[in-house]
Amino acid sequence: MAPKMIGTCSVLRLTCIAAAVALTLAGCGGAKVGDTAGGTSSGGTCQNVNIAVNPWVGYEANAAVVGYVLQNKLNCKVTKKDLKEEVSWQGFGTGEVDAVLENWGHPDLTKKYIEDQKTGVDAGSTGVKGVIGWFVPPWMAQQYPDITDWHNLNKYAPMFKTSESGDKGQLLDGDPSYVTNDEALVKNLNLNFKVVQGGSETALIQAFKQAEEKKTPLLAYFYTPQWLFSELKLVQVHLPPYTKGCDANPEKIACDYPPYDLNKIVSKKFADANGPAYKLIKNFKWTNDDQNQVARSIAEDKMTPDAAAKKWVDANPDKVNAWLPAP
């Protein structure tokens, strides 16, 4: 899924407990920054590499493939930590998170950890282009074609009422840690809607599937890349167009989300060592379709991340070879 992220504890975007007290950083499933020694690859030998895994399956696809290549091509020892985004960045300073493999903007974290604390550095684009927005299931766009213009949302608000939204229409959001401007958008666009937290990526996916199957109304936050679009053509609602700076004040945002060129962030210590693992992560670049293939294998086909990664790596040797550091 920017200001504050939008995207499995593993596969799904499940709610994690993140506590940052002194140098202890808590993540999902008991994972804590501090559980293992910091990983730094230096010289020609690949040592431990600690990769944060943020809670959405597209990210897990990145981590699966990068981790698989590090282990099987460079003989690295890879430790994956299920962590929320901001918690991941905190780990750069302790040397216990080496890489975040999919960053959705986060100007606040960039300022804090890259510009001010200087514990993180930009490791370049992943090649993946991200979009965040509001979507409706295909049947709604077909039956109510003008619903895709935000100006008409209040007209349809009564259709979206739920027990959670009361007398207002429901706008379903995902994991509370995702990048989201939705509260501000509802307020500043004077929409008769209430933002309701769905809790996870899986909850959003199931809500869209059910809404299409049962022809029930649904307006929800969602994003691409996402494997679901390969089987369900969700339709985006057009909000006021994004212009540079229109989201500068989080409380006054009244424009759409910006386009995202998703990038990698690594710890400065990891980058300065300039080892084979850092070089591979810096070189790592693929497409939305590549990511969706692996994500679908994990989420829908129920393959293990390693099996899904192996399947993709075996089918794409030229792309993988381009990532490998020069001998």
- Adjacent-strand bridge partners of 21: 24
Token pair belonging to 81: 């930590």
The per-residue pLDDT for range 302-318, each reduced to its tens digit, is 999 999 999 999 999 99
Residue 94 neighbours by CB under 8 Å, 6+ apart = 23, 25, 33, 34, 38
Q: Which domains does the chain have, with CATH numbers?
A: 20-128+261-323 (3.40.190.10), 131-252 (3.40.190.100)
Q: Confirm if 238 and 150 have CB atoms less than 8 A apart.
A: yes
Q: Confirm if 54 and 31 have CB atoms less than 8 A apart.
A: no
DSSP 149: B
Give me the chain's average pLDDT, please. Answer: 88
Task: Establish how many alpha carbons lie within 13 A of residue 263's alpha carbon, considering only the half-sphere containing its beta carbon.
Answer: 16
CA distance 320 to 65: 9
Run of H or E residues at 298: helix 288-299
CA distance 264 to 271: 12
- Residue 253, amino acid: I
Q: Which of 21-25, 95-99, 101-105, 151-155 has the lowest mean pLDDT?
A: 21-25
pLDDT of residue 176 exceeding 60: yes
pLDDT of residue 53 exceeding 50: yes
Token pair belonging to 238: 């057009």
